[in-house]
Amino acid sequence: MQRRQESPDAVKIRTLPVQVAAHLTRRIVSGDVEDGRAPSELDISQEFGVSRVVARETLKILASLDVVDVAQGRRVVVRPRAEWDYLSPLLIEWLPAEIVGELLQELHQTRVLLEPELAAMAALSITDETLERLGDEIDRMSALEADPDAYLEVDHEFHMEICRAADNRILDRIMYSARWLGTASRRITNEAPAALRKATADHAEIYEALVARDPEGARAAMRKHLRNNSTLLAEKEQRTERAARRR
């Protein structure tokens, strides 16, 4: 639901600082930047041929992602990778495919922990209007099985609607980030269009449990749904591994 204004995968012209931040992050990840010492504003402006203003904003962006620490007088330092903000779509986008793959797995694990409980909570507090919207979305999804992109859009909305029913801004934020990142890898499910029918059935089951205000049922249905997704992810993983071995 959020950031819908950016949705249509437009070839977004990013600002200069974002582009430079992307390059710099890739260089850090690849190990070119040694020993935690990040380039200074001046270094950046010279190396990338941009003004100091841009170099400065670049560092500010990286600081907001907990990639670097910046303070007056001190040199900018690269923070330990374990502390970077991997919930940020921006950062994920700059990381190599290998790491993104790992993160997607960890992401899925997170969803497996949270979403069944969210469904159970929603079953207790969901309103009739929300149920109506969920019903609509199920209808729309079954009509969109031929168009995976549009399908996933509604799918995202369906899950977020359930999350929102739990009325918890923290969980909402987490799920939003988690699912946002997930859509970055939509190809995973796109490659298995037959699976969409299965997903539709799962969604219907979740919906029924919510209508019945049945927490246990909702939890179980959501768990089952995620288990199916997990199978898909594993299959995809195997496929890419085989592909890598062939190379």
Footprint of its own copies (CB under 8 A): 1-2, 5, 15, 53, 57, 60-61, 64, 66, 69, 72, 79, 82-83, 85-87, 103, 106-107, 109-110, 113-114, 117, 168-174, 176, 178
Binding test (CB under 7 A) with DNA, winner from 29, 70, 112, 192: 70
Query: For its own copies, which is the closer residue by CB, 15 or 238?
Result: 15
74 near DNA, judged by CB under 7 A? yes
In the complex, minimum distance from the CB of residue 112 to its own copies, in angstroms, rounded to a whole number: 9
Binding test (CB under 7 A) with DNA, winner from 28, 59, 104, 166: 59
In the complex, minimum distance from the CB of residue 188 to its own copies, in angstroms, rounded to a whole number: 17
Per-residue 3-state assignment (H helix, E strand, C coil) for 160-226: HHHHHHCCCHHHHHHHHHHHHHHHCCCHHHHCCCHHHHHHHHHHHHHHHHHHCCCHHHHHHHHHHHH
- Residue 116 contacts residue 229 (beta carbons within 8 Å): no
42 near DNA, judged by CB under 7 A? yes
157 near DNA, judged by CB under 7 A? no
DSSP count for the chain of H helices, then E strands: 11, 2
Look at residue 59 and give the partner it binds from its own copies, DNA, none, a contact being a CB closer than 5 to 8 Å depending on partner kind.
DNA
Query: For DNA, which is the closer residue by CB, 58 or 177?
Result: 58
According to DSSP, the residues that pair with 78 across neighbouring strands are 68
Query: For DNA, which is the closer residue by CB, 69 or 205?
Result: 69
Q: Which residues are within 8 A (CB) of 243 and not within 5 positions of it... i.e. 6 or more apart?
A: none
62 near DNA, judged by CB under 7 A? no
- Residue 164 contacts residue 123 (beta carbons within 8 Å): no
Three-state SS for 70?
A: coil
Q: Read off φ and ψ for residue 124, nearest 5 degrees.
A: -85, -25
In the block, which residue shows the tokens 């059935």?
A: 201
Residue ranges binding DNA (CB under 7 A): 13, 15-17, 40-43, 49-54, 56-57, 59, 70-76
